[in-house]
Amino acid sequence: MKTKKPVIKKSDEIYKRAKQIIPAGSQTFSKGVTQFVEGFAPKYLKRGKGAYVWDVDDNKYLDYIMGCHPLILGYADPDVNKAVVDQLKLGSTFSLMNELEVDVTELLIDAVPCAEAARFGKNGADATTVGVRIARAVTGRDHIAYCGYHGWHDWYIANTDLNSGIPEFNQKLAHSFAYNDIESLEKIFREYPDQVAVVIMEPLTIIEPKDSFLENVKKITHDNGALLMFDEIMTGFRFAFGGAQELTGVVPDLTSVAKAISNGIPLSAIVGKKEYMFSLEKTFFSFTYGGDCVGLAAAKACIPKLKREKVPDHLWRVGGVLKDGFNKLAEQHGLSDYVSCLGYPCRTIISFDGRGVYKPLEMKSYFQQELIRRGILWTAYHALSYSHKMEDIEFTLSCYDDVLGLFSDIVDKNEKLHPLIEGVPVKPVFRKVADFMSYTIKEKN
């Protein structure tokens, strides 16, 4: 297999300018240098087409990050691009409302089981934030029970190590519970009786719900007078056309959607039952770009295409081959105790276990380095798109076979891993993580 260390001269030159004037060097932590082997990995991309991207030094990669998941159809999808260009010719933001707001709302009502009304934002945090605000307005309560990752707003980030600048009271109002641990949710309701406004959660992660977990979450939530909100920023349109709630049959009161809704053109939405959504007539949620027509035009082209082309089915099909293929290769190389591919086929992640010998982040760094050397841009998860074809999966598995072979030799020789990493190993975004993540590791073991 042809391998080469990428030349990243232009990437480094741009970053030298950036780090002097851009705090953290990046607009998104997960796209910054701490998430890639600094000194080896590219830092800046300049174009993409389908499932492939090119960096500023003209290195080409098969991309499994896909802009942190929104590019469900692939880069530069012709139908979405045409809709955006056509709309730009008409105008992007107007002085009055635009019919696209109604058109896309009707598409969401058709797609998402709980949707009877919708309002739009520009990113996922807009939608999750206003969902919490709706629940607080409806219930007259302040506390939040949460499970998963929900964005950059105060109530969530207050409980991470990046909480500088956030008033301390937010930590006292937000309480995390563990996935598949119903007792951890019940405990919150016992400790804060008649005070919890909403249970907000990622309904599906990398493990499956057990013992009717989601059904029990809904029952306990409603029994205690709170609203149930699914954060489907990740799962919406990916796990099924109607998201995790369609797949599981558990329908919440409110849902936030973004990412796949418009194939990478900024747009998000809060949807839900009318009796709750219409509280927004008395609760402030308004901003200049809330009705921006570019994202809405993209969504109007993207959502029907997801349904017409049965995109979620494609993701499950190619993702199943990738997941099963990786785990089979890991077994063949005698590495099943060290690495495994976990999750639903449409969105999987490689889990690393150093068995007390290797640090998981160093393992991730080494795998990332060697995959980049082979032309794959990767940061442990597989954000599959409609543009990932079976030949791409076959190529990826051949690269995994190669890298697993290298790592197997390292294990057999009892070599140290750090000296083999040709740069600075990756770091976590948060050092204090949500309970559901640690529970996931327990589930695996």
What's the whole-model pTM score? 0.93
**Which domains are present in the chain?**
9-63+311-414 (3.90.1150.10), 78-308 (3.40.640.10)
> Could you tell me which of 204, 210, 209, 272 has the C-alpha nearest to residue 233?
204
Which residues in the chain land under pLDDT 70?
Answer: 430-445
pLDDT (0 to 100) of residue 432:
52
Note the pLDDT of residue 73: 98
The pLDDT of residue 430 is: 62
pLDDT at 164: 86
SS3 call for 153: coil
AA identity, residue 356:
G
Q: What's the pLDDT at 439?
A: 34
